[in-house]
Amino acid sequence: MRAWTFNAIELLSAHTDIYREGSRSVRRSWIPMRALVIHLLVVGISLAAVQQAIAASVAPNRELETILGKLRTNASNDQYRQIDDAVKSSPNLFDQLNRLAASGKLTEIVVLTSAAASNAPKPGPFSAWMTGTSMVFTESLLSQLTKNREYDVVYPDDILPNNTTFVLGHLAFHLNAGKVIAKPGDVSHLNDYIAAMLDQEARAYIQAWNDALNAAVQQNNDKPLTPHQIADLMFNLHYRFAFLKALRQPTDKIQLEQNGVIEENESNANAITTALKSSSLADIQ
């Protein structure tokens, strides 16, 4: 499948600010960048027919059903609904979670109250993380994830991102990949360890984007998104900083397929890694 590097993005870098810190007025200057993203996607589509690979509809297996049943009794109705909807929004995510549940790598999804979260042991300053075979969300993150319009400009056919799908897809990647193990010894091992951690993190971002895109296609009545819908999906995503940086940085640019999919390959993982290195820590592990 064809892919395009966004080589021209840096031409706009003097005029755009794509970081999370951007103020409302600064965000308006994203418009030229959005236009460029759309332009490149349109060029792509004119060159080849769109092939959107859509996984067959799936149902929860017994193990995942048990996990969701337990969540229902332990979380509020709204929290349960938000996670259950997100799981079912993307056949790709559904499939990933079914496999994790069947293999025993995922045994529960937990929502912590703010009080419980402040006392919970966690692997870092995160609001969603894994511990053993559990996925943990804080209630405050879940509520933030429901805000899915970050971009000021509204278009009538916008498909808004499901940020909860994104985070579930991200954590699912980590659970499947397993913990990066540090080898004892010299500094070169430490460097290898950090590189392996960053690589897994980047690939978790890529799976998360692809799951959120897959959910958006479902929401679009199974129709592939148009270039401007793909651009707006990215611009409205809670975790857009990683992707927009990876489009703009001078080297190691990310490549999108014309259907918006980001292939999980070394080059794209490097692009996201470079973007993450210059970003503040995100709220997800």
Residues lying near Zn ion in the complex (CB under 5 A) are found at 201, 204, 285
Q: Which residue's beta carbon is nearest to the bound Zn ion? A: 204
CA 71 – CA 175 distance, rounded (Å):
18
Task: Indicate the residue among 38 and 180 with the shorter CB distance to Zn ion.
Answer: 180
Q: How far is the CB of 165 from Zn ion (least distance, A)?
A: 15
Tokens 């236009």 belong to residue: 35
Q: How far is the CB of 176 from Zn ion (least distance, A)?
A: 12
Task: Indicate the residue among 218 and 285 with the shorter CB distance to Zn ion.
Answer: 285
Task: Indicate the residue among 270 and 285 with the shorter CB distance to Zn ion.
Answer: 285
Q: How far is the CB of 36 from Zn ion (least distance, A)?
A: 29
Task: Indicate the residue among 97 and 217 with the shorter CB distance to Zn ion.
Answer: 97
Give the DSSP letter of residue 52. -
CA 19 – CA 255 distance, rounded (Å):
19
SS3 sequence, 240-276? Answer: HHHHHHHHHCCCCCCEEECCCCCCCCHHHHHHHHHHH
Task: Indicate the residue among 112 and 204 with the shorter CB distance to Zn ion.
Answer: 204
Q: How far is the CB of 31 from Zn ion (least distance, A)?
A: 30
Task: Indicate the residue among 214 and 285 with the shorter CB distance to Zn ion.
Answer: 285
Alpha helical stretches, state H, the chain: 24-27, 31-47, 62-74, 77-89, 91-102, 114-119, 139-145, 163-177, 187-219, 227-236, 240-248, 266-277
Tokens 């933030």 belong to residue: 144
Count CB neighbours of 126 within 10 A: 18
Q: How far is the CB of 240 from Zn ion (least distance, A)?
A: 16
Does residue 35 contact residue 160 with C-beta atoms inside 8 Å?
no
Count CB neighbours of 281 within 10 A: 10
Task: Indicate the residue among 127 and 285 with the shorter CB distance to Zn ion.
Answer: 285
Q: How far is the CB of 130 from Zn ion (least distance, A)?
A: 9
Count of alpha carbons within 13 angstroms of residue 29, beta-carbon side: 12
Q: How far is the CB of 136 from Zn ion (least distance, A)?
A: 13
